[in-house]
Amino acid sequence: MRIGTQLQRQRQLNGLSQNQLAEALHISRQSISKWENGSALPNFANVMAISNLFHISLDDLIKGDAVLMNQLENEHKTSKVADILIIGFGMAIFVFIVLSLLSVSEDAVATGLSLISVISFIGLIFSIKWRLINQALKKGAVVWGAILIATLLIPEFYGFIQGFIGGMPH
């Protein structure tokens, strides 16, 4: 049985509309519609969420849908967040080694990295699909995210104020 047919069957057995199911999965109703009519396939994370929501095994959910099984096998092995972390750590280690070998001062590194950080942060902000992020974030993630942003900004505020005060004539 195709995943779309199975999904529609499970949704109806559980008395859910496409909109209710979409809200439960934090996705759009159009995605549910596309899955059910076979014009698109869910990714692995959504297949897992559907399996958990309807309390059916993955095997029962995707059995017989060769196209979906092939897509899931070929799906990217790491998430984009994991890619960011892995690449970021690798770049940090590489740049640290190069700058250490070149004996670049810590102050010069801090100054250069501040500008790069601001530019990359702005680029990241404009490249994120915020509607999808807002749907996926739970209250705990908002709290931890706010704490993270605050801890990153407080030292910057100190540096800005100290630089401003230090630059004033006496």
* DSSP structure class, residue 137: -
Extract the tokens encoding 76. 């990217």
Cα separation, 115 vs 108, whole angstroms? 11
% pLDDT > 70, the chain: 88
Residue-wise pLDDT for 31-75, tens only, equals 999 999 988 888 888 888 898 898 888 777 777 666 666 666 666
- What value does the mean pLDDT of the chain take? 83
- Distance (Å) of CA 150 to CA 39, 140, 147: 43, 15, 5
Contacts of 2 (CB under 8 A, 6+ apart): 38, 64, 65, 67, 68
Rounded mean pLDDT, 149-156: 84
* DSSP structure class, residue 78: S
pLDDT level of residue 77 (50, 70, 90 thresholds): low
Residue 123: which region, alpha, beta or left (left: phi > 0; alpha: psi -120 to 50)? Answer: alpha
Q: Per-residue pLDDT for 169 more than 80?
A: no
Rounded mean pLDDT, 111-136: 82
Cα separation, 31 vs 112, whole angstroms? 43
Q: Per-residue pLDDT for 146 more than 90?
A: no
Is the domain spanning 3-74 CATH 1.10.260.40? The answer is: yes
- Which pLDDT score is estimated for 33? 92
Tell me which amino acid residue 116 is.
I
Give residue limits of the domains in the chain: 3-74, 80-166
